Amino acid sequence: MKLYEYEAKSIASKYGIPVPRGYLASSPGEVADACKKLGEVAMKSQILVGRRGLAGGIKFAKTPNEAYEVAKQLLGSIIRGEKVEKLLVEEKICIEKEYYLSITIDRAEKRIIYLVSKMGGVEIEELVKQHPEALLKIPVDPLLGYRPYMSRIAAKFLEIPKGHWKELHNIMNAMYKIMIDYDADLVEFNPLAWKCGGGLIALDAKITIDDNSLFKHPEFLEKAHRELSELEKLAKSIGFSYVELDGDIGIICNGAGLTMATMDLVAYYGGKPANFLDIGGGASKERVRKAVKILLEHPRVKVLLINIFGGITRCDEVAKGIIEALEETQSKKPIIIRLLGTNEEEGRRILESRGLQVFTEADDAVKKAVEITKSINNS
């Protein structure tokens, strides 16, 4: 679960990490009032996606009137697919240098590591690809946890004056404590800035909490689904395993393995999956109807691909659910179906009597779905 910047900074501040003075605002008036208290300000859109600055999600203002007008433009706007409902209004900080500092889990090495770089403000994925030499990794022994030598190594790498090494020690020690106390898999300050006149301050903060640990953190448990799209929320309420993707071929399968394999096939043949939707084993007609309806009404889906391997899932039940969804939505979107298994012949008869194309081999169905999608995109 990702935390908003203001939530992450609140935690950081509680652990003694320096952050700019600021106020959370949800109206232009509140933004103007904050500007009166802080002077020149940065107004930062509170959304859960990265690169908001490049998308216009961070603005500056020198006066309350200017802040008010800028806030009117930001609040309610859509930035990288998310609606801006709150702004973090902070004092503008004079900075000389920007660093990158995080603590996360190196899953390949199965251990916690600190990541340190002089190149602050750069996305970590971009940094690793383009400037791997600029990234320092400091492993943490899980039996010992944070140790002061780690901050000394980081301080030398960042060329921080020796008189300020204790500041970095306090920050890195606090980051480790946050990770353990909150079951976080990422605590990141990007940038961690060197202020004009000296001193470190976290200009931006990101914390993500392991979803499996949310039962231990009731203050966040009720917010756990806020990252989901409206369709993801709907699918979750019905009980589907559903993940929103950015393609245009809708995918419905029974079983997570089959669903992932189908997505791989779509990508292999040059298509882009719009989603992951697993209806599970033994899906009833009603369950299939709801799944098909969700994707037929999905604005980005151009072709629906259904791949069913019937064991405890009966192919005739699947077929009836598809037909009911079509009748309910009156959708004209192409549907490509692969059926194999229990009551396959009856399921095939039901679907073909309505003019739907049914395949036995998954490869053939996927190829057809990708072919139709490409034809629609080129028309």
d(CA 114, CA 171): 12
Residue range 348-356: average pLDDT? 92
3-class state of residue 309 by DSSP? strand
Scanning 184-243, the segments in alpha helix (DSSP H) are: 218-221, 230-238
Half-sphere exposure at residue 136, Cβ-oriented, CA atoms within 13 angstroms: 19
Is the pLDDT score of 229 beyond 90? no
- pLDDT score, position 76: 92
List of domains in the chain: 21-91 (3.30.1490.20), 95-221 (3.30.470.20), 230-378 (3.40.50.261)
Scanning 196-240, the segments in alpha helix (DSSP H) are: 218-221, 230-238
Residue range 9-27: average pLDDT? 97
- pLDDT score, position 345: 92
Query: Strand locations in 118-157, DSSP E?
Result: 135-140
Other C-beta atoms closer than 10 Å to the C-beta of 272 total: 15
**β-strand partners of 242:** 277
Kindly report, residue by residue over 122-180, the tens digit of the pLDDT: 777 777 788 888 899 999 998 899 999 999 999 999 999 999 999 999 999 999 999 99
- pLDDT score, position 242: 84
Q: Give the residue numbers marked as catalytic.
A: 100, 188
159: left (phi over 0), alpha (psi -120 to 50) or beta: left
Other C-beta atoms closer than 10 Å to the C-beta of 80 total: 15
Is the pLDDT score of 100 beyond 80? yes
Select the more confidently predicted residue: 211 or 157.
157
Confidence grade of residue 228 (pLDDT, cut at 50, 70, 90): low
Tokens of 345: 């012949």
Lowest-pLDDT choice from 105-109, 164-168, 210-214, 227-231: 227-231
